[in-house]
Structure 1
Amino acid sequence: MVDFSQLRAARALTGLSQPEVAEAAGVSVPTLKRAEAGGPIKVAEETIEAIAKALERAGVEFIPENGGGAGVRMKKRKR
């Protein structure tokens, strides 16, 4: 599963604003802010998945935890 720091980093990589990502994911801006903050108020797993999918459509690839730490990167563009 994608964590809050990956969501925040992915949005920064895309250059999209919180309102833009929230709209693309079908969630409210306050919900996106909670998801990116990773604080005590939990966000539903389905919501995290919707946000992650919106960021993937924007060109982000999520890198799973594999001993080196989870991360994000932009997908390679096909030529």
Structure 2
Amino acid sequence: MVGWECACVEGGRGRRRRRRRRRRRRRRRRRRRRRRRRRRRRRRRRRRRRRRRRRRRRRRRRRRGGVNEGNVDIRFI
């Protein structure tokens, strides 16, 4: 009887592990669907960030112009 009890316990553990794996697979499929919806919203936010980056580039161009003007003054001296 001891052998049968051990076999039942081991079989029960194996079945429980398989059931947990199946539940995890179902949860992953649901998460993938939610991520696709979130990606669409993130794309809209990225477009707004690109506009901010263009403004930063304009500021850098103004700084480069100021440095060039200083070099021209040194040449005239």
TM-score, normalising length: structure 1: 0.24
* Structure richer in helix, relative to its length: 2
* Structure richer in strand, relative to its length: 1
Find the structure with the greater CA-based Rg. Answer: 2
TM-score, normalising length: structure 2: 0.24
Which one scores higher on RCO, CA 8 angstroms, separation ≥ 6?
1
